[in-house]
Amino acid sequence: MFTGLVEQIGTIDHLERKDDGLALRIACALQHFELGESIAVDGACLTVKAFEEGLFEADASLETLDKTNLGDREEGDRVHLERALSLGDRLGGHLVTGHVDGVGKLVEKAPSGDYVRATFRVPPRLAPFLAPKGSITVNGVSLTVNTVTVDRFDVMLVPYTLEETTFGEMPHGTRVNLEVDVLAKYVASLMGKPGVDGGSAAGR
């Protein structure tokens, strides 16, 4: 589990596209990795398969590439990193699984005083899981939803978030990883409503 609070921005040092997925090497200042530990890369939970000082390596399967924006990445791209939550850690964001529900798109950024209002297009199947003042994870960042329509939602980005994430430099049209609040999924399951994939949420 994660919290949606980015620990650091890493840089894709090398990537290798394979028939069965993508191999990534990411440069960062995080230390004391353990083989097999989980790390969220732009919100997608990956497994550390190798590391050395200033670098770690992970693989993204074809399933991961199909469900996330990692297949869009190139060497030199900056990505949000968060290591898994430990028991006893402060939960400053919200509970995040690292299992991306779908890919959205940044459609507008507009200044609003010291803040920036960012509007994202969301797959319509995910919109029912969003609520004003509820939580959404965008590229691994825990954000608060302002408004929701059939296929869009917007958030307010505070100066700290703009400085400490890649949102400040993100151009219109960028595809982003979305994870809806896991509590919304459980409520839908209990009520027998369709799941995030459009199928029945009951009995999972």
What are the pLDDT digits (tens) for 97-127?
A: 999 999 999 999 999 999 999 999 999 999 9
**pTM for the complete prediction?**
0.90
Contact status, residue 178 vs residue 138, Cβ threshold 8 Å: yes
pLDDT of 68 strictly over 50: yes
Hey, do 8-83 and 102-190 end up sharing a CATH topology, with the first three levels equal? Answer: yes
> What confidence tens digit (pLDDT) does each residue in 151-197 have?
999 999 999 999 999 999 999 999 999 999 887 777 777 777 777 77
Alpha-carbon 57 to chain mean position: 18
The CA distance from 181 to 178, in Å, is 10
CATH number for 102-190: choose from 1.10.3720.10, 2.40.30.20, 1.10.3210.10, 3.10.20.740.
2.40.30.20
From 145, 31, 4, select the one nearest 85 (Cα to Cα): 4
**Per-residue pLDDT at 198:** 60
**Per-residue pLDDT at 174:** 97
CATH topology of domain 8-83: Elongation Factor Tu (Ef-tu); domain 3 (2.40.30)
> What confidence tens digit (pLDDT) does each residue in 146-162 have?
999 989 999 999 999 99
Round the average pLDDT of the chain to a whole number and report it: 91
Residue 188 DSSP symbol:
H
